């Protein structure tokens, strides 16, 4: 078992570093002799780090490359270029067997809790399978651990005999969380774990994730389009648009003093529970549609929709730089 009591002293230690990560999906043409004619630039040069024990929230519109980023970090998609340094090792250069052993340290909670669970397997078998693959304990000890995992995520041990179709959406997501924790990972990618759930259940899952992080000293990459949930869960927030991170900072800096026009537009769409303030606030409505990742615009990716665009924005890509206190932004105006 891991020593969960010693995690706080490593709080400032960097667990994961991503450098110039790219994930391009080739577009092929031809019936018999296929050739590459273009590429979908789903992720196009991301650089960031995640400290041990913290949560980095990754937000943006649907289709901007958030989920692809999470899967490329875990090597579920082999990146086109770049580095993913995890625990001092570059995952992108690892061979299959070495990468398989490393997978015990990094897991994922999928967006759809029904599609990600095998309908032919009982919940107990679903939770025991990762432990069996990675050689965690014997058969009897695995059964005991399955019962303990179910209790830890708020389910009865008797739930082990059920099948996924017999559970509600929230219960299935709890099973998905328990499966991710079954091999005691250090790093978990939460790939939009709330989007398929009712609002009342979302709050329960958020609190569960936070409690598990505190207890086990987990490190999260929390992917979501729900800015309110990200603010509640995350320590730092990265704002992504069309395969690029446009702004990255501490959550208070992002929400109180957003520097990028796209970040300000996203935050202006978040409802305020006070009806008086909600009626007074100014919404930033972006014109046009998100460009295709097949042919992203020259210069700044946001230049075609930005209300503050300059001529240089359409010509040169702005540098992703630190403007102070680890507040990174990619904008010619800052």
Name the packing angle between helices 123-133 and 169-181 (round to 10°). 20
In a domain, 212, yes or no: no
> Tokens 């069309």, residue?
242
What backbone phi and psi angles, to 5 degrees, belong to 42?
Answer: -65, -40
| More confident position, 281 or 303 | 303
- pLDDT tens string 154-194: 999 999 999 999 999 899 999 999 999 999 999 999 999 98
In a domain, 60, yes or no: no
- Mean pLDDT of the 37-66 span: 93
Q: What angle do CA 186, 92, 97 make, to 5 degrees?
A: 75
The model carries a pTM of 0.91
- pLDDT tens string 196-209: 788 888 999 999 99
- pLDDT tens string 210-251: 999 999 999 999 999 888 889 999 999 999 999 999 999 999
Please state, in angstroms and as integers, the Cα–Cα distance from residue 117 to each residue in 36, 45, 164, following that order: 35, 32, 7
38 forms beta bridges with: 27
Please state, in angstroms and as integers, the Cα–Cα distance from residue 100 to each residue in 97, 104, 107, 186, 219, following that order: 5, 8, 12, 15, 20
- pLDDT tens string 252-272: 999 999 999 999 999 988 777
pLDDT at 274: 66
Cβ atoms of residues 116 and 179 within 8 Å: no
Collapse the DSSP code of 316 into the 3-class scheme (helix H, G, I; strand E, B; otherwise coil) and give the result: coil
List of long-range contacts for 98-106, beta carbons under 8 Å, 24+ apart = 99/75, 103/74, 103/134, 104/134, 104/183, 104/184, 104/185, 105/185, 105/186, 105/187, 106/74, 106/185, 106/186, 106/187, 106/188, 106/189
Domain that holds residue 271: 262-334
In a domain, 136, yes or no: no
The total number of structural domains in the chain stands at 1
- pLDDT tens string 128-154: 999 999 988 888 899 999 999 999 999
Please state, in angstroms and as integers, the Cα–Cα distance from residue 329 to each residue in 47, 99, 118, 250, following that order: 12, 33, 42, 12
* Secondary structure element (H or E) that encloses residue 41, with its range: strand 35-51
| More confident position, 227 or 288 | 227
């Amino acid at each position: 078992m891991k020593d969960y009591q010693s995690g706080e002293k490593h709080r400032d230690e960097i667990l994961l570093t991503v450098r110039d990560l790219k994930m391009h999906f080739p577009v092929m043409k031809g019936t018999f002799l296929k050739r590459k004619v273009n590429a979908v630039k789903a992720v196009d040069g991301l650089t960031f780090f995640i400290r041990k024990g913290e949560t980095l929230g990754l937000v943006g519109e649907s289709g901007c490359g958030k989920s692809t980023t999470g899967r490329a970090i875990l090597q579920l998609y082999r990146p086109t270029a770049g580095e993913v340094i995890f625990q001092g090792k570059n995952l992108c250069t690892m061979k299959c067997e070495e990468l398989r052993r490393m997978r015990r340290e990094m897991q994922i909670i999928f967006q759809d809790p029904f599609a990600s669970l095998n309908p032919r397997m009982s919940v107990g078998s679903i939770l025991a399978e990762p432990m069996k693959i990675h050689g965690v304990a014997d058969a009897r000890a695995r059964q005991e651990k399955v019962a303990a995992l179910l209790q830890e995520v708020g389910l009865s041990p008797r739930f082990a005999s059920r099948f996924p179709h017999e559970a509600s959406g929230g219960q299935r997501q709890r099973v998905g969380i328990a499966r991710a924790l079954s091999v005691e990972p250090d790093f978990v990618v939460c790939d939009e774990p709330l989007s398929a759930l009712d609002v009342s259940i979302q709050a329960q899952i958020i609190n569960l994730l936070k409690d598990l992080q505190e207890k086990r000293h987990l490190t999260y990459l929390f992917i979501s389009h729900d800015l309110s949930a990200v603010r509640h869960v995350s320590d730092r927030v990265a704002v992504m648009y069309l395969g690029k991170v446009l702004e990255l900072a501490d959550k208070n800096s992002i929400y109180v003093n957003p520097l990028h026009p796209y970040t300000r537009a996203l935050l202006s769409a978040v409802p305020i529970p006070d009806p008086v303030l909600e009626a007074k606030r100014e919404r930033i409505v972006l014109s046009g549609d998100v460009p295709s990742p097949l042919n992203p615009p020259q210069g700044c990716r946001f230049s075609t929709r930005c209300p503050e665009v300059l001529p240089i924005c359409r010509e040169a890509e702005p540098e992703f730089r630190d403007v102070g206190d680890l507040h990174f932004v990619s904008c010619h105006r800052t």
